[in-house]
Amino acid sequence: MEYVGSALDGLFITKEGNSRGRVGRRRYSNDDGTEYKSKNLHAERRRRQKLSDRLLALRALVPIITNMNKATIIEDAISYIEELQNNVKVLQGHLYEMEASSEEGTLPRSEEIDPAEEMRKSGIQAEVEVTQINGNKLWIKIIFEKTRGGFTRLMEAMTAFGFELIDTSVTTSKGAMLVSSCVKGIHGEINEVQRAKELLLQIINGI
C-alpha cells in the first residue's frame, strides 16, 4: 500500500511526504506537471518492480514459507538467516573442539618440499638487487629461500629499517621466493644504494 501511496504522491504531487521521503519528487511539484508526473510514474514503477523481484528471489531462497505477502517474506527470511547463523556457530564449535583434541600432529608432513633442495636443483641463487628511482624511492629485487614464515620475517626486518613497500610483486617458484618491489623510505630519503643492498643481504641471510 505504501507503494500505491507513493505512486499517488507522484501523481497528485502532494506536499505530504511519504515514509521514504522522496525529496526529488516534491521539487518538481509545480513545473512541467505532466512530464514529471509520467517520469516519476515510470521510475516509481520500476522501483517497485525491482523491489518485488528481489522479494521474490528472497522467497525462493527461504525454504520455510508461511504466507505470501511482503511482511511475512521478510519475517521468514529473518528467521531463516538466524537459523543459518546458528548452524554456522554450531559447526564452528564442532570444528573448534575437533581442533583442540585433534591428532593431526601425528600425520607426517610428507608433502612439503625442501626449499633449499629445490633451489639448488634449479640453480637459483639468493640475491639482492637495488636501484634508485628517484630521491626517495628505490627499486629492489630479492630472491631468497622460501621458508615457512620467511616472508613475514623479511617484512618485519624491512619495516624495522624504514623500508615501506609500495608496489609489490611476490612470486614463488621452485622453492624460492622472488620479491620485486618499489620501496619508499619511511624516515626520509634513501640515497645510499650500496648500503641498502648490503642491508638487505644481511636480512636475507638472517632469515
Partner 1 sequence: MYEETACFDPNPMTEGTISVDGFSVPNNNFEVRLSMEELSYHHHNNHTPCHEDVAIDIELQQHLAFNIENNNTNNTTTNLDNTHLIDNPYNLHEMQDMDNFNYHQQQQHLIDIQNGHQNFDCSSYPATTPDLLNLFNMPRCSASSFMPNSSISFSNPTLQQNPTNNYPNSLGFLGEVPTVTDSPSGGSVFYDPVFHLNHLPQQPPLFRELFQSLPHGYTLPGSRNGSLFGTNGVVVDDREGCVYQEDGDVRQFENVLEFTGKTRDGETKHFATERHRRQHLNKKYDALRSLVPNPTKADRASVVGDAIEYIKELLRTVNELKLLVEKKRCGRERSKRHKTESEYGSGDLESCGMKPLGGDPDQSYNGSLRSSWLQRKSKDTEVDVRIIDDEVTIKLVQRKSSCLLSVSKVLDDLQLDLHHVAGGHIGDFYSFLFNTKIYEGSSVYASAIANKLIEVVDRQCAAIQPTSSY
Q: Which residues bind partner 1 (CB under 8 A)?
A: 1-2, 16, 19-20, 47, 50-51, 54-55, 57-58, 61-62, 70-71, 74-75, 77-78, 80-82, 84-85, 87-88, 91-92, 94-95, 98-99, 102-104, 106-107, 109, 111-112, 148-149, 151-152, 155-156, 159, 164-172, 182
φ, ψ of residue 178 to 5 degrees: the values are: -110, 120
* Cβ atoms of 154 and 204 closer than 8 Å: yes
Between 15 and 34, CB nearer to partner 1? 15
Cβ at position 32, least distance to partner 1 in Å: 25
Q: How many CA atoms lie within 13 A of 148 on its CB side?
A: 3
**Strands 127-132 and 137-145, sheet pairing:** antiparallel
Helix (H, G, I), strand (E, B) or coil at 165: strand
Cβ at position 122, least distance to partner 1 in Å: 16
Between 41 and 95, CB nearer to partner 1? 95
Between 54 and 195, CB nearer to partner 1? 54
Cβ at position 93, least distance to partner 1 in Å: 10
Between 35 and 135, CB nearer to partner 1? 135
Between 35 and 91, CB nearer to partner 1? 91
Which amino acid is located at 117 in the chain? E
Angle at alpha carbon of residue 108, lines to 102 and 112, rounded to 5°? 115
Hey, how many other C-beta atoms are within 10 angstroms of the C-beta on 50?
10
Cβ at position 108, least distance to partner 1 in Å: 10
φ, ψ of residue 13 to 5 degrees: the values are: 50, 60
Cβ at position 45, least distance to partner 1 in Å: 13
Nearest to 142 by CA among 205, 202, 200: 200
